Amino acid sequence: MAVAITIPRLGWNMDQGVFVGWLKGPGESVQAGEPLFTLEGEKAAQDIEAIESGTLHIAVDAPEAGAIVAVGIVIGHLLAPGESAPNGDTREPIAVSAAAPAGSENSTLAATPAARASRRGDRPRSSPLARRLARELGVDWTRLAGSGGTGRIRKVDVLAAASAARAQASRDLPPIEGTSVPVGPTRATIAARLVRSRQTTVPVTLHTTADATNLVGLRAQYRAAAAAPAGKEPPGYLEVLIKLAALTLREHPMLHAAWADDRLIVPAEANIGFAVDTEEGLVVPVIRSAASLPLGEIVTRARDLARRARERRIRPDEMQGGTFTITNLGSFGIEGFTPVINPPECAVLGMGRIVRQPVMVDDRAVGRDRMSLSLTFDHRIVDGAPAARFLQCLVAAVENPGPWLIA
């Protein structure tokens, strides 16, 4: 029996990806477990393995390299010896035509026959998530074509309709001279997550400074030790903050709690995400159980994840499961800023630059290293006072890091 080859979901929020290309040719023999094609998801490209063995039959309307594809569509089949391709192995394209301004006869989105066949009375079948998203985006979901089984309307159909409507609105505006820059899946995912953060959180940001003189001295000691024979790679300020934040979260666990329906879930371990700037946009790898890891292990994992993220070799699961995020703009000379929460997390910490400043000590000016810290938290989960106590505790750890790192 022919086995359908479909576009898989690489992440919980993934509804579409970019088809990079086939790794096997039509008519080639494929063994179960062999890489079959490459798919680019929200933040990384991944080789998709065959789940069965057989001869590869590529559908007539299979996507070309670089095409955006919806999760679940059939792009080919694996056939047994002597088996023919099943009838109807190709799919009619989902009709999403955006059109004329509202009020005209073509102002709605066209529905495919499959979508019409799935209607109950005057309303098509749809998922609860699709209906809720349609209400948020102002999309009339009852007139959409469904890409799900039996024409069921899914989240991806609503997003496509909203995108088409925005594109039509932009075409109605006066033209702007300049260079057109295509938006790839990574940038689109970042934009969608930022919108989600804006729509689903009540963000409040606290700004403070910490005396980082001891932290700077400790890092100098690590660097001196690294220069010795058999010395280990010294930690940077980001890796130290990952460890300190994870330890602080043990004392203030609500700062990495998350909503789950009508209750809050407080994680047993702190999984710290850290922002990495890549050519394709910002990605957030996650270091799991960071409080339990030695600082040297955090350095090794963080740098390996950052390198593979920039090389687009990081796995989707390595960017999932975070409970708290840290973003560092200090290396760019930025002191204070307002970081954006990464849903469903409660908070994100922004690291600013370290500046040598005069500080009054016993009526005399003394040079001290000062670090800016910015904490954005979801006021739905914690109030200002608990968030301030967390930040106060973290500042204490930054100002005297030795005992925290040794314990």
Cβ atoms 241, 326 nearer than 8 A: yes
Looking at the fold, whether 260 and 148 belong to one and the same domain comes out as no
CATH code for the domain in which residue 240 is found: 3.30.559.10
If one counts the domains in the chain, the total is 3
- Which H or E run contains 208? strand 203-211
DSSP of 141-164: GGGPPP-SGGG-B-HHHHHHHHHH
Residue 195 maps to a domain? no
Selected residue with higher pLDDT from 107 and 342: 342
20: left (phi over 0), alpha (psi -120 to 50) or beta: alpha
Looking at the fold, whether 226 and 366 belong to one and the same domain comes out as yes
First to last CA, the chain: 60
- Which H or E run contains 306? helix 295-310
Looking at the fold, whether 128 and 270 belong to one and the same domain comes out as no
Residue 196 maps to a domain? no
Residue 208 maps to a domain? yes
Looking at the fold, whether 96 and 73 belong to one and the same domain comes out as no
Distance CA 348, CA 197 (A): 12
Q: Is the pLDDT score of 308 beyond 50?
A: yes
Q: In the annotation, is 256 catalytic?
A: no
pLDDT (tens digit per residue) in 164-211: 777 666 666 676 677 777 777 777 777 877 888 888 899 999 999 999
Three-state secondary structure readout of 83-96: CCCCCCCCCCCCCC
What percent of the chain is predicted at pLDDT more than 90? 46
Cβ atoms 262, 250 nearer than 8 A: no
159: left (phi over 0), alpha (psi -120 to 50) or beta: alpha
Residue 330 maps to a domain? yes
CATH code for the domain in which residue 45 is found: 2.40.50.100
Looking at the fold, whether 238 and 154 belong to one and the same domain comes out as no
Which of 47, 79, 111 is the last residue before a domain boundary? Answer: 79
Q: What is the pLDDT of residue 319?
A: 92
Q: In the annotation, is 77 catalytic?
A: no
Q: Domain residues for 117?
A: 92-173
Residue 298 maps to a domain? yes
300 in helix, strand or coil? helix
Looking at the fold, whether 214 and 259 belong to one and the same domain comes out as yes
Residue 193 maps to a domain? no
Residue 377 maps to a domain? yes
pLDDT (tens digit per residue) in 3-23: 999 999 887 667 788 888 899
Pairing of strands 74-79, 3-6: antiparallel
Looking at the fold, whether 138 and 285 belong to one and the same domain comes out as no
Looking at the fold, whether 352 and 263 belong to one and the same domain comes out as yes
**pTM tops 0.75:** no
Looking at the fold, whether 274 and 371 belong to one and the same domain comes out as yes
Residue 179 maps to a domain? no
Residues 6 or more apart whose CB falls under 8 angstroms from that of 233 comprise: 226, 299, 300, 303
pLDDT (tens digit per residue) in 126-176: 777 777 778 877 888 788 877 766 677 877 778 777 777 776 666 666 766
